[in-house]
């Protein structure tokens, strides 16, 4: 949002300043409208289905007709289940809130660039959480990490690490709503109506905030808005009082619109902020086993084929380069001789030194 609109910096300053939040990658690259999100997910799903269908047909013609592929909603359901798993793991390891929130953000962002059918969320979740421990400075050794998770080897975590980091665009910094919640709870103590013990409000707001992590809220709204919605669910009166105190006199328009935004977040949290039905997810997972991209399953025929193809390509590239080098050396100069082909200048003269040799 450009600073010339209602979010303009204080009018006193000569150069309009841009709000700090707009410098974040979260604002620039990970902010969507709800329509954009569903469009993105369905197009991603369609592309993946087309690729996998093609691979299956290549392997065994006609085999793809019996497979029922997942649709975008089913994919999202699976991702949602693994978000709850992150919370469980964070409880197990006693990770701070930061790690959990970051890992959840990573997982959500990853599946805006990849599909469940290519990469199963079980391993991606482990990698995202491990990456989050590192990016939030709560480092844990890989051995300790995998030792406490059943049926997991260090390679399961590390194999996907670069892929995950790449899908995130190496944008690891996340603005979190739980920090905003802390700030709101602190700042509310300036209100005259604030109860002496604000802790119950905080705890209740925190549960709502955690529920919001199961929704798309952080991809649509800003962290402070989500935190305010969580507080509003816990103590509506206090929240609206606080939000009214936070508006500059020149930003009347946005002050009028904020309640609407908060209401929509609240609706989103109450409607979507609960873990998915286990039975439904189990069904999805069962079907996923059949429609996974065979090229990504280690040991499968398609996987081996793909590996072979890649090897071939790399070999061709290497031999081409070797040929070029050989050719260049044969021509005398390993760095090529571009200048020789250019025409000489207008002034031409015989060089005395060259005549002898």
User: 64 or 243, CB closer to another protein?
Assistant: 243
How far apart (Å, rounded) are the C-alpha atoms in residues 142 and 127? Answer: 10
User: 124 or 226, CB closer to another protein?
Assistant: 226
User: 63 or 245, CB closer to another protein?
Assistant: 245
Pick from 107, 224, 87: nearest CA to 164 = 107
User: 149 or 261, CB closer to another protein?
Assistant: 261
How far apart (Å, rounded) are the C-alpha atoms in residues 219 and 34? Answer: 9
The least distance separating another protein from the CB of residue 104, rounded to whole angstroms, comes to 17
User: 5 or 271, CB closer to another protein?
Assistant: 5
How far apart (Å, rounded) are the C-alpha atoms in residues 104 and 121? Answer: 12
DSSP structure class, residue 295: G
Pick from 177, 224, 183, 173: nearest CA to 26 = 173
Q: Please give the residue ranges that form the binding site for another protein (CB under 8 A).
A: 1-3, 5-7, 9-10, 15, 17-23, 27-28, 31-36, 39, 175-176, 179-184, 186-187, 189-190, 196, 198-199, 202, 220-225, 227-228, 243, 246-248, 251, 253-255, 257-258, 260-261, 264, 344-349, 351-352
How far apart (Å, rounded) are the C-alpha atoms in residues 296 and 294? Answer: 5
The two tokens of residue 139 are 């480092």
The least distance separating another protein from the CB of residue 300, rounded to whole angstroms, comes to 37
Contact 64, 57 (CB under 8 A): yes
The least distance separating another protein from the CB of residue 49, rounded to whole angstroms, comes to 21
User: 53 or 179, CB closer to another protein?
Assistant: 179
Exposure of 111 by Cβ count < 10 A (0-12 exposed, 13-18 middle, 19+ buried)? buried
Q: Which residues contact 283 (CB under 8 A, 6 or more apart)?
A: none
Contact 104, 144 (CB under 8 A): no
The least distance separating another protein from the CB of residue 183, rounded to whole angstroms, comes to 3
The least distance separating another protein from the CB of residue 292, rounded to whole angstroms, comes to 30
The least distance separating another protein from the CB of residue 215, rounded to whole angstroms, comes to 13
The least distance separating another protein from the CB of residue 96, rounded to whole angstroms, comes to 11
Pick from 286, 238, 262, 319: nearest CA to 77 = 286
Q: Evaluate the CA torsion angle 30, 34, 40, 46 in order and state its sign.
A: positive
The two tokens of residue 94 are 């006693």
The least distance separating another protein from the CB of residue 229, rounded to whole angstroms, comes to 11
User: 17 or 148, CB closer to another protein?
Assistant: 17
User: 54 or 257, CB closer to another protein?
Assistant: 257
- Using left for φ > 0, alpha for ψ between -120 and 50, and beta otherwise, residue 338 falls in alpha
The least distance separating another protein from the CB of residue 182, rounded to whole angstroms, comes to 4
User: 237 or 342, CB closer to another protein?
Assistant: 342
User: 125 or 206, CB closer to another protein?
Assistant: 206
- Return the residue matching tokens 């482990």: 126
Pick from 110, 218, 214, 220: nearest CA to 165 = 110
Compute and round to an integer the Cα radius of gyration of the chain.
28
The least distance separating another protein from the CB of residue 342, rounded to whole angstroms, comes to 8
């Amino acid at each position: 949002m450009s600073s010339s609109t209602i979010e303009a910096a204080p009018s006193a300053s000569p150069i309009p300043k841009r709000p700090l939040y707009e410098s974040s990658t979260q604002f620039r690259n990970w902010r969507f409208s709800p329509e954009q999100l569903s469009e993105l997910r369905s197009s991603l799903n369609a592309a993946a289905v087309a690729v996998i269908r093609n691979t299956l047909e290549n392997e065994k013609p006609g085999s793809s007709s019996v497979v029922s592929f997942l649709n975008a909603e089913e994919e999202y359901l699976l991702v949602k289940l693994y978000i709850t798993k992150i919370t469980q793991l964070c409880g197990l390891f006693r990770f701070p809130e930061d790690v959990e929130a970051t890992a959840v953000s990573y997982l959500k962002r990853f599946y805006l660039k990849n599909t469940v059918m290519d990469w199963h969320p079980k391993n991606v979740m482990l990698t995202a959480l491990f990456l989050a421990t590192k990016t939030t400075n709560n480092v844990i050794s890989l051995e300790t990490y995998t030792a406490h998770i059943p049926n997991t080897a260090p390679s399961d975590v590390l194999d996907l690490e670069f892929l995950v980091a790449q899908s995130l665009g190496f944008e690891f910094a996340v603005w979190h709503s739980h920090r905003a919640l802390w700030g709101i709870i602190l700042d509310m103590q300036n209100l005259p109506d604030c109860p002496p013990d604000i802790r119950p409000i905080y705890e209740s707001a925190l549960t709502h905030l955690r529920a919001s992590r199961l929704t798309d809220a952080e991809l649509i709204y800003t962290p402070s808005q989500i935190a305010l919605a969580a507080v509003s669910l816990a103590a509506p009166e206090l929240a609206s009082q606080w939000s009214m105190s936070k508006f500059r006199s020149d930003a009347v328009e946005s002050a009028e619109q904020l309640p609407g935004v908060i209401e929509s977040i609240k609706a989103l949290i109450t409607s979507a902020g609960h873990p998915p039905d286990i039975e439904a997810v189990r069904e999805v997972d069962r079907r996923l086993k059949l429609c996974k991209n065979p090229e990504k399953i280690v040991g499968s025929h398609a996987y081996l084929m793909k590996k072979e193809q890649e090897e071939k390509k790399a070999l061709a590239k290497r031999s081409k380069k070797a040929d070029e080098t050989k050719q260049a050396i044969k021509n005398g100069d390993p760095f090529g001789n571009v200048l020789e082909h250019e025409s000489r200048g207008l002034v031409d003269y015989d060089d005395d030194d060259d005549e002898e040799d």
